[in-house]
Amino acid sequence: MNDIETIFIDGSMGEGGGQILRTSLALSCITGKRLHIENIRSARRNPGLAKQHLSCVRAACNICNGKSHGAAKGSKVLDFQASPVHSGDFRFDIGSAGSTSLVIQTLLPALFLAHKPSTVTVTGGTHNPLAPPFDFLSETFLPAIKTAGFQGDCKLLRHGFFPAGGGKITLRVQPRQKQSPVPAPPVSMQTQVQANQAIDLCNSGQEFRINARIYTAKLPTHIAHRQQKLLLQSGLNIQNIEHTEVRDSQGPGNAVCVRLCCNKRTTVFTAFGMRGKPSEQVISEVVNLAMNFIDSGAAVDHFLADQLLLYMAIANGGCFTTDRISAHTKTNMEVIKKFLPVDFIIEQQGECFRVSCQPLR
């Protein structure tokens, strides 16, 4: 037990946020390597572990009978030791409006490598600013990684907006399908992933079918009408606008999703309304995200780009084009390289960037 490698992570590197913790926990579960992380979320206004991050630690411990030291609110240092990952029916309650999607993303990479299917149910926020909303998880992220044999299906059981929370999502995870008898290099002390189709998302379609979805919960109907009018005036060729008046939310909320559909793939951009934020600003945010992505000619938006990196590393390769390289993306690359023998190559191609993952020989 004493000869198990320990990976030391500086949580202040790069963008210095919670993604460093989540990626590190996932990779510790996958590889079996001990994790020691310091300066957790040092770049944030309230540094250290918050409720949402503690939920990620507890969830990671749950799926692998792991042990942690330092898992307390506000803690900036954490030690984590995983045992072999096991499948199961897992249920987690964040206890706040923290993002359910981010907890799931901590667990997914390891659960895909388990031997049997798992179900994960998380209670918290389903539509949060600064986190992937359920629509992105369901329509953009899961279909993208499915191309490399990572199959999961999620359902929204109850909406949860910030700050009330109380939403619930459930996700069914299938063990990664092994399509080839040729073994790949080991990525875990507990399991091996065999060769499979790599993520290859480099070619963007020429024409998008553009739809929009407006969520309102416990808000006057004129807000949705105003946002619908602004969307139609935005310059995007929106073919359909759907208004969902949420009745199961514990508190008020507003989110506007623009959905770009092309080549059997959907890219979802979202902006959130809040007290004191005019609808003009909400619509401007989401429309600008969509227009900039369309103009770039990329196949993958920069939010998805950050999340594909780990799955390319597990699959021992892959590539995509994206509209920009964010600080999140660069930081995630550095964390992954500390655990797995891979490298990432970034090449600018016109208005977009090609990112590829290659194993180190």
Active site residue 243: no
Q: Out of 127, 159, 302, 328, which one is annotated catalytic? A: 328
Return d(Cα 215, Cα 4) in angstroms, integer. 48
Residues 243/231, Cβ–Cβ less than 8 Å: no
| Backbone angles phi and psi of 189, in degrees to 5 | -70, -20
Return d(Cα 196, Cα 184) in angstroms, integer. 9
Q: Which amino acid is at 124?
A: G
Return d(Cα 125, Cα 205) in angstroms, integer. 33
Return d(Cα 265, Cα 122) in angstroms, integer. 26
Handedness of CA 157, 159, 163, 164 (dihedral sign): negative
Closest by CA to 246, choosing from 134, 337, 161, is 161
Closest by CA to 172, choosing from 106, 108, 115, 234, is 108
Classify residue 355 by its DSSP letter. E
> Which residues belong to the active site?
328
